[in-house]
Amino acid sequence: MPRSNFTPAAALFRHCLKKRRITAGLTQRSLAARLNRPQSFVAKYESGERRIDVVEFLEIAEAVGLDPSELIRELR
């Protein structure tokens, strides 16, 4: 399997994270502030320019009020 940010699975993962951010009423800037990161961090992972690791995923999920296992089930 190619290790790319642009596989269909990676695109779906990014889409789900972005959808959850928007549903939570957060802008990229406000989510970044909750994560103590620059806004570009959020922009880059949402666009596929940057991958996130599992620890970052858990931090993002907590910041948007998402149960990480719920998103994983959604991706299956």
pLDDT for the residue 55: 98
pTM: 0.89
In tens digits, the chain (76 residues) has pLDDT values of 556 778 999 999 999 999 999 999 999 999 999 999 999 999 999 999 999 999 999 999 999 999 999 999 988 8
The answer to whether 39 and 71 are in contact (CB under 8 A) is no
CATH (one of 1.10.260.40, 3.40.50.720, 3.40.50.620, 1.10.10.10) for 8-75: 1.10.260.40
**CA dist., res. 42 & res. 35, Å (int):** 9
pLDDT for the residue 47: 96
pLDDT for the residue 5: 74
